[in-house]
Structure 1
Amino acid sequence: MQSFEKWVQDIRREFHRNPELSFHEYGTQEIIMSVLEELGINCRKIADTGVIAEVRGRTPGPCIAIRSDIDALAAEESLTALNKEYISQNPGVMHACGHDGHMAIVLGVARLIKERRKDICGTVRFIFQPAEEVPPGGASRIIDEGGLEGVDAIIGLHVFGDVDIGVINIRPGPFMASSNRFKVKIFGKGGHHSIPDYCIDPIQVASEFISSLNPSISKKVCPLDYVLGFGTIHSGSQFNRVPDELELVGSFRTFDDMDTDAIEQTMSSILDSLMVSYSREGFDGVPSYELEVYRGYPVLFNDPLFTDTASKLLKTKFPIVNTHAKAIFGAEDFAYYLQEVPGMYAIIGTRNVEKGIVEGNHSASFDIDEDVLITGVELLYSVAVDFLKNSGAYLE
C-alpha cells in the first residue's frame, strides 16, 4: 500500500503539473473534489472554482476551518534538475508560490481527520480558495458565500523559499502587511522646450513628488514599518515638447491602517503644495492632479491568544518554532478570514541548500523540499485536533 508521505507527494506533483490562474482553477477544482470523494468526504463548489468540505467527529463540538489557496502564477517554469518529472504542462503558468504544496498539505490533513474522526469531537472544515494571487482575491468571495458560517476559528500556512527547511515562523498580532496601490495623474500645460515660460511641466512636478515622498513619509511613519515604490511613469511623446499630463503608478505596504492613512494624507499634502509652487498667473486650471489610492489586502493579524496557545503546542512537536518571528511585507487575503474569526497563519521554510532548493517564491525556478509537506500536515493537524479538544484555551 502506498505510504501516506508518497500519497501527499504525488498529489502535490499532480497539482504542480496542472497549474491554473486565478478564478480559472476548474481543473484544479476537479482534482480536489476527486481526492475528497475518494476519501469519502462530502464537498461542494464555492466561489466558482473553490471547494468547501467538512468532516464531523463522533460528537458535536466547535468547528475549525483550514484553508488552502489554489491558484498559480503567470510565469513560464524553468526546467531544473529537480522538476523533470512534474514540470508545468500549462505553458506560461506555474505554481511558483507553493500553492500546490498547500493543497497537498490540506488534503493530507483531511485524510488524517477522516481516518481518525471517531477520536474527534467537533467539525473540521476545509476551504480550498481560488485567486489569492490577484486582488481583490477569493477570500472575500468565500466569506460572502457563507464559507465561514458556523466556524469558530481558522488556520492556514504558507511555504517560503527564503526560510530554511524545518523552521516554523509564527507571530501574534500583525504578521503580514497590507498591500495598497496608488495612481497619480498630473496635468500641466504643454508646449515647446524653447518657450518654457508658456509651459507647466508635469514631469518636473512628478520628479519633485517622487524625490520628496519617502523623506516626508518618514517624518510621520517609522521607516521600518512601511515600504513604498514607484512602478510606472507614462508621459510625453516628443523629445522637444513639454507634455500636457503624466501618470505615475506605485504601491506601498504597512502593518497598521493608521500608517496607511498617514501615507495617503502625505501624498495629498505634497501634491497640494506642488500645485501652488508651480502655478502661474494666466494659467487657469493648471497645474492640477488626481490621486487615487486602491487599498488591497488588509494587515494579516494573528489572534494573540490563539497564536500563543498554538505556539506552546507546536514547540513540543517541532525543533524550530519562532513564536515572535519578524513581520513581513508580503500580503495575504487570509487576512480577511482573521477579521471574521480568531485564528493563526504560519510560515514554514522549504529552503534546502544541500538539495539545491534555494529559489525564492515567484521565481521561475521555484521548487519546494517535499519534506515540508509532512511538516505542514503535522502542524495543521496538531493545532486543529488540539483546538477541538481544548477550544477554551484558544478563544476569549
Structure 2
Amino acid sequence: MFRRHSFLSFATAAALVTTAVAPRLAAQAAPFDPALAAEIDKRTAAIADKITAWRHDIHQHPELGYQEKRTAALVAAHLRALGLEVQENVGGIPGVIGTLKGAKPGPTVALRADMDALPVTELVDLPFKSTVRTVYNGVETGVMHACGHDMHTAMLMGTAEVLAGMKSRIPGTVKFFFQPAEEVPPNGGALAMINAGAMTGVDGVFGLHVGPGPSGTLSYRSGSITAAADSWKIIVRGRQGHGAMPANAVDPIVASAEIVSALQTIVSRSVDLTSGPAVVTVGAIHGGLRENIIPDSVWMIGTIRTFDPKSRQVIADRLKLIATKIAEAHGAKAEVHVELGYSSTLNNVAMVSRFSPALKRVAGSKGAFESKSPSMAGEDFSRFADKAPGFFFNLSVTPPNVDLFNVAGNHSPLFQGDDAALPVGTRAMANVALEFLVSGGIPKTP
C-alpha cells in the first residue's frame, strides 16, 4: 500500500536526522571490550578454511528460490552440531533459524543471510564453478550464485560458530536467519519467516551484502540503503496471421516494440527526480515462433525501482496507461499487472551511529566508509528492518587480480567473489552482534 510522502526524499531526510542525532547517540555508546574483539578475530582465523570450503560447496551446488533444500540441510546440520536450537522449514519454506542463548540475560539480536541463487549460466572458470542446469520461464539456463548469497550463507555459518564458542560471554540471545528466495520479489522468503514468528522478541537485526569493490572494504549509510523493488508484466494480445499479409493480422510485436520504447520516458518525463532516483527496466520479452507467422500475443516482464512513495505510484499508473493505450492504438489489447514488492531498506539512524565504528574496527586498513548514495538494488531484508531496528551494510569482494574499472557486477555471469573477504564479513557480523548485546541494544523510541 502506498503511503503519503513529504517533500523530502528518504535519503535527504535520513541525512538531516543523522546530522542532528548521530553525535549524541555516538557519545552514549560505551567502548567495546578489546578482548572480545580479539577473541572474535582469533576464532574466525581458526575456521577461515572451513568458511571457504562451505562457500565453495554452496557455490558449486546452487539452488533457486524456494528450492534451497540442500543448502538448508547443510546449514541446519552445522547449527545443530554447534548446540543451537534449530528450526527448519520455517514458514513452510526452506528457511532455517538457529538460536544461541547466551549464559547471561540480555536483549535479542538477529543476523540474516540469504541462500538462493539465480538463473544465470556461470562464465567464470573456477575449480568450484557451477554446472547446474534448469528450465526457467520456459528457457533452459544455468544456475549460479551470481549475487554472492553463497558467501552470505558461509559467512553466517562461520559467525554462528564463532559466537557459539563465546556463549559464556554472551549477554542475551542471537538468532541466525538463513532465508530462502530473496531473489523472488515480490514474494521473497522474509515474509513467510516473519509470519511464522521469526522476529518475535528481536530487538535489532543486521545483514550484509557482497558486491564489487576492493576486497574487504565495508560501506554503510543511514536511512535508505536499497530501493523499493516492484515487478510488472504486460501481455499484448493481437490477432495471429501470415507474416506476408500483416494487414490481415494485428501485430503484437510491433505494438510491444513501441511500448518498450515509450516506457523509457516514464522516469525522464513523469517522475520528479528531486525526490529520489527511479528506474523502469524491461527484463524479458517474448513473442512468436518463426519468421513468417505474426503471433497472437507477446509478453514482457520487468522491474520498477524507487525511493519515493509518490514516484512509486506515478510509475505504476503511467506504465499501465502507456501500455494500454499504445496497444489500443494498434488494434490490440494489453493486460498490465504491477505487483508491489520489497520496500526501501531503511537503516535505523541509532543503529548506524552506534555500530558503524565496529565496521571500521573490523575493516582496519581496508577501510569502512559511509556511502553518499543508496543502491537501486532491492532487498527482502527491508521486511526484517520494518519489524525491528535494522542495519544493513555492504562488503566489497572483487578479487585483487580483477580490474576494478571493468569489474562485473551482481547478477552477471562473470561475477566473482574473493575468498579472502569471507573472514572480514564473518568478523563484521560477529562484532556488531556481540557489541549490540553487550551494550544492551539501542534505546527504544516511545
Q: State the partner residue of 1:13.
A: 56
| 1:65 aligns with one of 110, 116, 122 | 110
Q: Following the alignment from structure 2 to structure 1, what is the Cα–Cα distance between the partners of residues 124 and 245? A: 55
Counterpart mapping for 1:11-50 below 5 A: 11-45=54-88, 46-47=90-91, 48-50=93-95
Counterpart mapping for 1:303-382 below 5 A: 303-319=348-364, 320-354=367-401, 358-382=407-431
Structure 2 unmatched runs, 5+: 1-42, 134-141
Cα displacement (A) at 1:30: 2.1
Q: Following the alignment from structure 1 to structure 2, what is the Cα–Cα distance between the partners of residues 75 and 268? A: 29
Against the structure 1 CA distance between its residues 23 and 206, is the aligned structure 2 distance closer, same or farther, given a 3 Å change threshold? closer
Q: State the partner residue of 1:87.
A: 129
Q: Following the alignment from structure 1 to structure 2, what is the Cα–Cα distance between the partners of residues 24 and 222? A: 40
Q: Following the alignment from structure 2 to structure 1, what is the Cα–Cα distance between the partners of residues 144 and 301? A: 27
Does residue 149 of the first structure (1) align with residue 192 of the second (2)? Answer: no
Counterpart mapping for 1:159-198 below 5 A: 159-160=210-211, 162-186=212-236
Q: Following the alignment from structure 2 to structure 1, what is the Cα–Cα distance between the partners of residues 197 and 401? A: 45
Against the structure 1 CA distance between its residues 262 and 391, is the aligned structure 2 distance closer, same or farther, given a 3 Å change threshold? farther
Give the AA of the match of 1:106.
Answer: L
Q: State the partner residue of 2:37.
A: none
C-alpha offsets along residues 192-220 of structure 1, whole Å, 9 cap, x if unaligned?
99896x98765565455444433344233
Counterpart mapping for 1:219-238 below 5 A: 219-222=269-272, 225-234=277-286
Q: Is the 8 Å Cα contact of residues 44 and 53 (structure 1) preserved in structure 2?
A: yes
Q: State the partner residue of 1:386.
A: 435
Does residue 105 of the first structure (1) align with residue 155 of the second (2)? Answer: yes
Structure 1 unmatched runs, 5+: 280-285
C-alpha offsets along residues 210-260 of structure 1, whole Å, 9 cap, x if unaligned?
444333442332457111123444557898998766544332211233211
TM (norm. structure 2) is: 0.75
Against the structure 1 CA distance between its residues 128 and 188, is the aligned structure 2 distance closer, same or farther, given a 3 Å change threshold? closer
Q: Following the alignment from structure 1 to structure 2, what is the Cα–Cα distance between the partners of residues 126 and 30? A: 15
Equivalent pairs, count: 384
Alignment partner of 1:219: what SS?
Answer: helix
Q: Following the alignment from structure 1 to structure 2, what is the Cα–Cα distance between the partners of residues 96 and 61? A: 38
Cα displacement (A) at 1:321: 1.6
Q: Following the alignment from structure 2 to structure 1, what is the Cα–Cα distance between the partners of residues 295 and 49? A: 62
Q: Following the alignment from structure 2 to structure 1, what is the Cα–Cα distance between the partners of residues 372 and 353? A: 13
Q: Is the 8 Å Cα contact of residues 187 and 288 (structure 1) preserved in structure 2?
A: yes
Q: State the partner residue of 2:11.
A: none
Give the AA of the match of 1:376.
Answer: G
Q: Following the alignment from structure 1 to structure 2, what is the Cα–Cα distance between the partners of residues 180 and 243? A: 28
Alignment partner of 1:96: what SS?
Answer: coil
Which is further off, 146-155 or 199-208?
Answer: 199-208
Cα displacement (A) at 1:41: 1.9
Against the structure 1 CA distance between its residues 189 and 322, is the aligned structure 2 distance closer, same or farther, given a 3 Å change threshold? same
Give the AA of the match of 2:281.
Answer: G
Alignment partner of 2:105: what SS?
Answer: strand
Q: Following the alignment from structure 1 to structure 2, what is the Cα–Cα distance between the partners of residues 44 and 297? A: 25
Give the AA of the match of 1:228.
Answer: V
Q: State the partner residue of 1:283.
A: none
Q: Is the 8 Å Cα contact of residues 59 and 122 (structure 1) preserved in structure 2?
A: yes
Against the structure 1 CA distance between its residues 38 and 190, is the aligned structure 2 distance closer, same or farther, given a 3 Å change threshold? closer
Q: Following the alignment from structure 2 to structure 1, what is the Cα–Cα distance between the partners of residues 393 and 264? A: 31
Q: Following the alignment from structure 2 to structure 1, what is the Cα–Cα distance between the partners of residues 392 and 403? A: 27
Against the structure 1 CA distance between its residues 93 and 233, is the aligned structure 2 distance closer, same or farther, given a 3 Å change threshold? closer
Against the structure 1 CA distance between its residues 65 and 188, is the aligned structure 2 distance closer, same or farther, given a 3 Å change threshold? same
- Which protein is bigger by CA-based radius of gyration? 1
Q: Percent identity?
A: 32
TM (norm. structure 1) is: 0.84
Q: Is the 8 Å Cα contact of residues 170 and 325 (structure 1) preserved in structure 2?
A: no
| 1:137 aligns with one of 188, 194, 205 | 188
Q: Following the alignment from structure 1 to structure 2, what is the Cα–Cα distance between the partners of residues 239 and 7? A: 54
Against the structure 1 CA distance between its residues 145 and 210, is the aligned structure 2 distance closer, same or farther, given a 3 Å change threshold? same
Q: Following the alignment from structure 2 to structure 1, what is the Cα–Cα distance between the partners of residues 435 and 167? A: 14
C-alpha offsets along residues 16-73 of structure 1, whole Å, 9 cap, x if unaligned?
3332222222222221122222222221202432211111112221100001111223
Give the AA of the match of 1:253.
Answer: R
Alignment partner of 2:410: what SS?
Answer: coil
| 1:301 aligns with one of 346, 356, 359 | 346
Q: Is the 8 Å Cα contact of residues 64 and 151 (structure 1) preserved in structure 2?
A: yes
Which is further off, 310-319 or 376-385?
Answer: 310-319
Q: Following the alignment from structure 1 to structure 2, what is the Cα–Cα distance between the partners of residues 14 and 189? A: 50
Cα displacement (A) at 1:102: 1.2
Q: CA RMSD in A?
A: 3.2
Q: State the partner residue of 1:116.
A: 166
Give the AA of the match of 2:169.
Answer: D
Q: Following the alignment from structure 2 to structure 1, what is the Cα–Cα distance between the partners of residues 267 and 411? A: 29
C-alpha offsets along residues 137-179 of structure 1, whole Å, 9 cap, x if unaligned?
211111111111111111111111x222122121212211222
Which is further off, 313-322 or 366-375?
Answer: 313-322
